[in-house]
Amino acid sequence: MVKRVVTGNYAAAFAAMLARVDVIAAYPITPQTFIVEHLSEFVNDGLLDSAFMRCESEHSAMSACVAASATGVRTYTATASQGLALMHEVLFIAGSAHLPVVMPVVNRTVAGPIGIWAEHNDTMPQRDTGWMQVYVEDNQEVMDMTIQAFKIAEDKRVLLPIMVCLDAFILSHTVEPVDFPDQDKVDKFLPPYRPDHAVLDPKDPMIIGSFSPPEYIQEVRYQTDETMRNALEVVEEVNAEWAKEFGRDYGGLIEEYKTEGADAILITLGTVTSTARDIVDEYRAAGKKVGLVKLRFFRPYPTEAIRKVASKCKAIGVYDRAVSFSAGGPSWIEARNALYGYTIPVINVLAGLGGRDVTEPDIRLMFDKVLEAAEKGEAENEIVWIGTRGVKP
């Protein structure tokens, strides 16, 4: 194991190399560009023996991954923002055909107005495409989860594609010390991909994607749903194996931080988690009973894990870096759905949209709102916009 100081994008690219991907198809988009640049360097320096398709669009990049995956090889791409939006219709095919494509997505705001900084309104709308989504907090997690992603996606109980979501610039362009796993250990952890459900081979003809009448499609939907549910267990297993082999335990579907004895718990996702962890320490030192849950997997959604958390506190706040207009943040909507029947207040805190910094005072305010709800047993406002000009939080 070697420790190097690298960007999140470098970690994402290097992880693809460690996973020995067969076919890479990609198109550059800020802030994902370094991923394709690094991969190009690895290929041109002879370090990475992959077919590398430098496509003319993200739509084609995802199409190439789907076609190559359907032919039976390990595939990888990476994108962000508009690129992911352009891929949208292709994403469904990977999900329904059970093609375990792995794709880091550098979370960037989707226009308009056009911007390049962190927001989750690119990945959140892809919720129903049949892709798993894991949100990561630091560059080590980018590396570790990109490798784990292959193992989870290729598990025969799952066979679904997966996005590894990392915040624009905060991770993609920021250097951090990262432990680089040894190749031989990764090889042992992640054996070659040998599918039998999706292989286009003239010696054993198979049709993938035939035009299907209503008599058949509902079962396909059911199977995608079933395998997405299977992933709940597989995520935990793979996390445990990773922890055993590489010494880093991410908690699986969610990570709890000082939730024991907490009255008010904040559920975060992405990089905001790190700052929130500091505030938990600060508040705990001041005698305030707060705790933190880092939501790692958004799909499959860890309903049971969230219920367990809710059953031990008095109020929950859910942080979102995206909003479903008139309905609240996507992560909050999911949490409320999971907590139907629970009587504790569950409030939504929205901040950092368009890449605005989410500062320590912002997060203190979030905890204060949740603490207030815990104390009163109800919330004045269910949806709280924090740090918005002209809007009282």
- Measured CA to CA, the distance from residue 27 to residue 65 in angstroms comes to 12
Residue 285 phi, psi dihedral angles, 5° rounding: -60, -30
Q: Does 205 help bind another protein (rule: CB under 8 A)?
A: yes
Q: Does 65 help bind another protein (rule: CB under 8 A)?
A: yes
Element (H, E) at 278: helix 272-285
Where in 22-41 is the site for another protein (CB under 8 A)?
A: 22-23, 25
Q: List the one residue from 43, 51, 85, 116 that touches another protein (CB under 8 A).
A: 51
Q: Does 57 help bind another protein (rule: CB under 8 A)?
A: yes
Shortest distance in whole angstroms from residue 20 CB to another protein: 11
Q: Does 200 help bind another protein (rule: CB under 8 A)?
A: yes
Residue closer to another protein by CB (options 175, 206) is 206
Where in 208-237 is the site for another protein (CB under 8 A)?
A: 208-213, 216
Count of positions on this chain that bind another protein (CB under 8 A): 40
Residue closer to another protein by CB (options 50, 268) is 50
| Long-range contact set of residues 54-60: C-beta below 8 Å, sequence gap at least 24 | 54/26, 54/27, 55/25, 55/26, 55/27, 56/27, 57/27, 57/86, 58/27, 58/29, 58/82, 58/83, 58/84, 58/86, 58/87, 59/86, 59/87, 59/89, 59/90, 60/25, 60/27
Shortest distance in whole angstroms from residue 110 CB to another protein: 21
Shortest distance in whole angstroms from residue 46 CB to another protein: 16
Ordered DSSP codes for 57-109: SHHHHHHHHHHHHHHT--EE--B-HHHHHHHHHHHHHHHHTT---EEEEEE-P
Q: Which residues, 6+ apart, have CB-to-CB distance to 35 below 8 Å?
A: 9, 12, 13, 26, 78, 104, 106
Q: Does 16 help bind another protein (rule: CB under 8 A)?
A: no
Shortest distance in whole angstroms from residue 72 CB to another protein: 7
Q: Does 59 help bind another protein (rule: CB under 8 A)?
A: yes
Residue closer to another protein by CB (options 193, 319) is 193
Q: Does 160 help bind another protein (rule: CB under 8 A)?
A: no
Shortest distance in whole angstroms from residue 186 CB to another protein: 19
Q: Does 72 help bind another protein (rule: CB under 8 A)?
A: yes
Q: Which residues, 6+ apart, have CB-to-CB distance to 193 below 8 Å?
A: 22, 72, 73, 74, 100, 150, 154
- Measured CA to CA, the distance from residue 45 to residue 41 in angstroms comes to 6
Q: Does 113 help bind another protein (rule: CB under 8 A)?
A: no
Shortest distance in whole angstroms from residue 25 CB to another protein: 7
Residues binding another protein (CB under 8 A): 22-23, 25, 50-51, 53-57, 59-60, 63-73, 75, 89-90, 93, 200-202, 205-213, 216
